[in-house]
Amino acid sequence: MAAAAAAGSCPGPGPGPGPGAARTKKKQKRFVPQRVKLPRAADPLLAVLAWGVTHQINELSQVPLPVMLLPDDFKASSKIKVNNHLFNRENLPSHFKFKEYCPQVFRNLRERFGVDDQDYQVSLVRSPPRWAGSGRRLLLSADRTLVLKELSSEDVADVHGLLSHYHQYVVQCHGQTLLPRFLGMYRVSVDSEDTYLLVMRNLFSHRLPVHRKYDLKGSLVDREASDKEKGKELPTLKDVDFLNKNEKVFVEEEQQREFMDKLKRDVEFLVQQKLMDYSLLLGIHEVERGEQEEEEELEEEEPGAGGDEGGLGGPYGTSPDGLGGLLNSYRPLGPGEFDPCVDVYALRGAEGAPRREVYFMGLIDVLTQYDARKKAAHAAKTVKHGAGAEISTVHPEQYAKRFLDFITNIFA
């Protein structure tokens, strides 16, 4: 297997506006074991996660990169069990286990996605991630560059089943994909309870807040957000809402063509794996609104007040290093500007569009197999809504066609 062609280059789905956003930063390979301030044991899961990721990344740094991945690498794992851990009991529980799945495979994927291991470690553990939303299903890294999704043991098996095909596809497309960018998978065991976590790049920006977001499947049955959801500060709207609001995505024709070419390749891969029920997650940043919010935040800050150590430093900040730290060597980015090395799913709004906007678009929830359970759900919904209804549980080829037809029409 050849060395990762995508490592160190990040053209991303589209360039950011402004000259500062178009440059990329070539980073020298360096690995210095990091001193990490662990979260207190009040959240032992996050404390063990920080300890385990640091331990595993440091261990990997001592192992030469393999010339090629072998079939056994896709079954491998690295485990450590700690009992009577007393020397740091304020920060860590006395008994815990940590497991990394397929460490060499995910190391290779990180390289192909242009993610340096030390930056990955710093983004994950320098400040503890925080739970996003109401349910404990998603964690967001403190610098907002990484998302950690809590999985079931069945989901872990699904990732294992997909991983070799996914890796091969990432190699073929040189890391240029709208699929989730899988970067690591772990099991954290505390008090005899296992928590499985899959680490991915954040689809949304680490510095430009999203003001509207949609989960789009191309189906119209049961695809309107509930009144409860619509009452949230940032609701996740759906296909019917998108149509009812006459929403459109305004990007240049070339960007639209490149995006759709990439999406069609990705969807073809999902069809080959008999996967369905995925969505396009669309986030929209309104440039003028974001600029106004930033000014209001600055006005509210006390003169000379500092942010939390290792924290975000306000709504647009990043950690000193880590994946978001790539921007630190550039001039400050202006309103609506982004670096495609960091905001890898971003597309700039077209010149002359009704509003200045930045779009973040990528595929999510790609692990659902069209199995007996989905076939039964399809039959039940067909009886309820009729054979011609735009229901979501259809076979992968039909799902893909309807999905692509819908997404093609979201553009102005």
- What's the CATH number where 369 sits? 3.30.810.10
Question: What is the rounded average pLDDT for all residues in the chain?
Answer: 83
Task: Count how many domains the chain has.
Answer: 2
Of 38, 58, 200, whose CA–CA distance to 121 is shortest?
Answer: 58
What is the amino acid identity at position 392? S
pLDDT in tens, 135-184: 668 999 999 999 999 999 999 999 999 999 999 999 999 999 999 999 99
Of 237, 334, 345, whose CA–CA distance to 287 is shortest?
Answer: 334
Q: What's the pLDDT at 146?
A: 96
| CA pair distance 114, 95, nearest whole angstrom | 35
| CA pair distance 156, 64, nearest whole angstrom | 27
The number of helix segments (H) and strand segments (E) in the chain equals: 11, 14
Q: Which DSSP category does 24 fall into?
A: -
Residue 318, domain member (yes or no): no
| CA pair distance 333, 338, nearest whole angstrom | 7
- Alpha helix segments (H runs only) across 18-152: 19-22, 44-61, 103-112, 117-125
Does residue 9 register a pLDDT over 80? no
363 and 289 in a common domain: yes
Q: What's the pLDDT at 56?
A: 96
Catalytic residues: 149, 277
78 and 167 in a common domain: yes
Asked whether the CA dihedral 170, 176, 177, 183 is positive or negative, the reply is positive
103 and 140 in a common domain: yes
Residue 187, domain member (yes or no): yes
Residue 302, domain member (yes or no): no
155 and 60 in a common domain: yes
Q: What's the pLDDT at 31?
A: 46
| CA pair distance 343, 318, nearest whole angstrom | 13
232 and 88 in a common domain: no
- 236-237: strand order across its sheet: 236-237, 212-216, 279-286, 357-364, 346-348
107 and 234 in a common domain: no
Do the strands 357-364 and 279-286 form a parallel or antiparallel pair, or are they unpaired?
antiparallel
pLDDT in tens, 292-347: 898 888 777 655 443 333 332 334 344 446 676 554 444 567 788 898 888 999 99
Q: Which DSSP category does 306 fall into?
A: -
236 and 141 in a common domain: no
Does residue 376 register a pLDDT over 50? no
Provide CB contacts within 8 A for 182, sequence distance 6+.
106, 109, 159, 163, 166, 198, 199, 200
241 and 159 in a common domain: no
Q: What's the pLDDT at 393?
A: 64
What CATH number has the domain bearing residue 129? 3.30.800.10
Residue 177 — φ and ψ, nearest 5°? -150, 155
Last residue within a domain, chosen from 168, 202, 236 = 202
Number of Cβ within a 10 Å radius of residue 232: 11
Q: Is 303 left (phi over 0), alpha (psi -120 to 50) or beta?
A: beta
Last residue within a domain, chosen from 140, 175, 202 = 202
| CA pair distance 146, 141, nearest whole angstrom | 5
Tabulate helix, strand, coil % of the chain (nearest 5). 35, 20, 45
Question: Which residue did the predictor score with more confidence, 297 or 210?
Answer: 210
219 and 180 in a common domain: no
358 and 275 in a common domain: yes
Last residue within a domain, chosen from 176, 202, 228 = 202
Residue 312, domain member (yes or no): no
Number of Cβ within a 10 Å radius of residue 298: 10
Residue 330, domain member (yes or no): no
Does residue 6 register a pLDDT over 80? no
| CA pair distance 96, 45, nearest whole angstrom | 9
Threshold 0.85, pTM exceeds: no
How far is residue 190 from each of residues 81, 101, 157, 170, 198, measured CA to CA in Å?
11, 17, 21, 34, 17
Contact 54, 34 (CB under 8 A): yes
Does residue 262 register a pLDDT over 60? yes
123 and 100 in a common domain: yes
Report the SS3 class of residue 357: strand
What whole-number percentage of the chain has pLDDT above 90?
Answer: 63
| CA pair distance 55, 125, nearest whole angstrom | 11
pLDDT in tens, 19-55: 333 333 444 444 445 555 555 556 899 999 999 999 9
What is the amino acid identity at position 70? L
183 and 235 in a common domain: no
Find the angle CA(298)-CA(360)-CA(125) to the nearest 5 degrees. Answer: 65
Residue 103 structural domain:
44-202
Residue 18, domain member (yes or no): no
Residue 9, domain member (yes or no): no
Residue 189, domain member (yes or no): yes
Map tokens 């509207």 to a residue: 212
What whole-number percentage of the chain has pLDDT above 70?
Answer: 75
